[in-house]
Structure 1
Amino acid sequence: MFTIYPAIDLRNGRVVRLLQGDPSQQITYSDDPSAVAARWVSEGATWLHVVNLDGALGDPAAGRANRRALQEVRRRVSAKLQLGGGLRDIHDVTAAFDDGADRVVLGTAAVENPQLVADALDRFGPERVVVGLDSRHGIIVTRGWQQATPMTAIELGSLMRGMGVVHALYTEVGRDGMMAGVAAELTAALAQLTGLQVIASGGVRNLDDIHELMQYASRGVSGVIVGRALYEGALSLREVLQTIVTQEG
């Protein structure tokens, strides 16, 4: 089933969006993450994608407010929670599950500490671990998208699949928060070449983008994260979910 993941990006306990991952280009949408979560669930969301931006950017002090926000979201909604951002060791991963996450996204750690991915897979299983493939022009970036690496998304994805990873999250950073259209063909190619089930992220503007991604569902594109388009009213979550039911039915 193709899944829509409304994004709840947290910075110092607030719901925000960063344009292209740039901390200096922030749009703040709400001071109450649990209310935002409740809204998306009331409109039909079964999964939410939560990001601890402060953790990803290396600010653990501010990240503590995001941890409290995650806990409050967990208390308020029954939807499944996918959490990424700043998970650097097995203690972070365990704490994320303790705080209410159903699945974690390992991005920087997949590059810098692949043993963590292996340990998380061994302890929690492949359905609870997602590898984040964050790419700028095909090159993997880490540390809140601030540092480039020598690896391509396909190279890292193939390595992770060989370790037993099933799910990946692919973000083309230049599109994130820009509502500039999705990288559907790139996402599908990544899924096919690596054998991963890939969640698309970045650039969703409208229903046409959702339809374009769904065309590749049989090739391993398993869902999409939607952020700014929902928050600014360019997309109706109810309409998107109804479209998926109609198309898959």
Structure 2
Amino acid sequence: MDSKNKKNKIENGHGKRINPDFEILPAVDMKNGKCVQLVQGIPGSEMVSLDNPAEVALSWVARGAKTLHLVDLDGAFEGKRKNASIIEEIISRAKPLDIQIQIGGGIRSFEDAAKLLNWGADRVILSTIALKNPKIVRDVSESFGKKSVVVGLDSKNGYVAVEGWTEISTKKAVDVGKSFEELGAGYILFTNIDTEGLLKGVDVRPTQELTESVQIPVIASGGVTTIDDLFELKKIGAWGAVVGSALYTHKFTLEDAIAALKSNV
């Protein structure tokens, strides 16, 4: 068996294939034209606020990022895409470098999703709209391909949170994840609200439950504070992890994390 096939056969002990090319997706969250990091997603809780999000995004590319995770917070909070010109600039500058772009925040219709994909985004993150109108997942998947659809599931104590995390539904994240896989989602972005933005480390159990229940890639989000957290997420079968506050507050560097993960295949 050659080394490539051997790597592809690695499993985590629960039958879930481990992604040897586990990705770190730097978060570029945009609000009022700035790159910000919020605590627990609460408006006004900015722990980081940087000018020129496009330059911030391209700096992550220069440091080794292969995929950028863009979030239009104004779109999410107000339904207005105030950061459209910034998003277009990031896409136009990153795509020639063969960088993948996934974007969420304020996608409220098929037309919104289609516009972002037609701008050149590789994947759109469907969160609230997917829960309210699951058919949109199938519509986007059939029109743009399965890999264009990321369903965003935000979870607290294993249950899906809605309405900007203000309400906890009676639906288990695992069950919802399975249903969206059947509808044609290509990825699930799983955010553990219990740890999001707190810089206190990850709790891998909810993510592991999901990775063991679906076949599509699961991108983890929430709580990554150390490179060891990334190792733990990789070990339980996550495809990659969105990292925001830990990078912006210099808990570790992107270069060091990429190098450590490569040496830990």
Contiguous gaps of at least 5 residues in structure 1 = none
Correspondent of 2:44 among 3, 6, 24:
24
Could you list the per-position Cα deviations for residues 80-110 of structure 1 after superposition, in whole angstroms to 9, with x for gaps in the alignment?
Answer: 1110111111100011113331111111111
* Distance (Å, rounded) in 1 between the aligned partners of 2:188 and 2:194: 18
Conservation of the 8 A alpha-carbon contact between 1:109 and 1:117: no
1:244 equivalent to 2:265? Answer no
- Give 1:76's aligned residue: 93
Conservation of the 8 A alpha-carbon contact between 1:199 and 1:223: yes
Give the length in aligned residue pairs.
Answer: 242
* Distance (Å, rounded) in 2 between the aligned partners of 1:142 and 1:86: 14
The amino acid of 1:234's aligned partner reads K
* Distance (Å, rounded) in 2 between the aligned partners of 1:92 and 1:102: 14
- Give 1:92's aligned residue: 112
Structure 1 window deviating more from structure 2 (193-202 vs 236-245): it is 193-202
The structure carrying a bigger helix percent of its residues is: 1
- Give 2:17's aligned residue: none
Q: What is the TM-score normalised by the length of structure 2?
A: 0.87
Conservation of the 8 A alpha-carbon contact between 2:27 and 2:70: yes
- Give 1:136's aligned residue: 156
The amino acid of 2:116's aligned partner reads A
1:226 deviates by: 0.4
The amino acid of 2:248's aligned partner reads Y
* Distance (Å, rounded) in 2 between the aligned partners of 1:14 and 1:149: 32
Structure 1 window deviating more from structure 2 (185-194 vs 34-43): it is 185-194
Q: The residue matched to 2:239 in structure 1 has which SS?
A: strand
1:225 equivalent to 2:242? Answer yes
- Give 2:84's aligned residue: 67
1:172 equivalent to 2:192? Answer yes
* Distance (Å, rounded) in 2 between the aligned partners of 1:24 and 1:14: 13
The amino acid of 1:242's aligned partner reads A
Could you list the per-position Cα deviations for residues 33-75 of structure 1 after superposition, in whole angstroms to 9, with x for gaps in the alignment?
Answer: 1110111001000101001112222x134x32x2211111112
1:111 deviates by: 0.6
* Distance (Å, rounded) in 2 between the aligned partners of 1:204 and 1:177: 8
Q: What is the TM-score normalised by the length of structure 1?
A: 0.92
* Distance (Å, rounded) in 2 between the aligned partners of 1:35 and 1:158: 37
* Distance (Å, rounded) in 1 between the aligned partners of 2:164 and 2:75: 8
The amino acid of 1:164's aligned partner reads G
* Distance (Å, rounded) in 1 between the aligned partners of 2:144 and 2:109: 14
Q: Larger Cα Rg: Structure 1 or Structure 2?
A: 2
Q: The residue matched to 1:175 in structure 2 has which SS?
A: coil
Conservation of the 8 A alpha-carbon contact between 1:14 and 1:28: no
Conservation of the 8 A alpha-carbon contact between 1:157 and 1:196: no
Contiguous gaps of at least 5 residues in structure 2 = 1-20
Tell me the percent identity: 36
* Distance (Å, rounded) in 2 between the aligned partners of 1:134 and 1:10: 19
RMSD between aligned alpha carbons? 1.4
Residues 1:157 and 1:111: Cα distance change in structure 2 (over 3 Å): same
The amino acid of 1:9's aligned partner reads D
Q: The residue matched to 1:26 in structure 2 has which SS?
A: coil
* Distance (Å, rounded) in 1 between the aligned partners of 2:168 and 2:139: 25
The amino acid of 1:199's aligned partner reads I
The amino acid of 2:93's aligned partner reads R
- Give 1:53's aligned residue: 73
The amino acid of 2:242's aligned partner reads I
* Distance (Å, rounded) in 1 between the aligned partners of 2:111 and 2:167: 24
Conservation of the 8 A alpha-carbon contact between 2:67 and 2:101: yes
Could you list the per-position Cα deviations for residues 127-179 of structure 1 after superposition, in whole angstroms to 9, with x for gaps in the alignment?
Answer: 11111111122221223323333322112101111223231010011211111
Runs of 4+ deviating beyond 2 Å: 75-78, 142-150
Q: The residue matched to 2:257 in structure 1 has which SS?
A: helix
1:121 equivalent to 2:155? Answer no
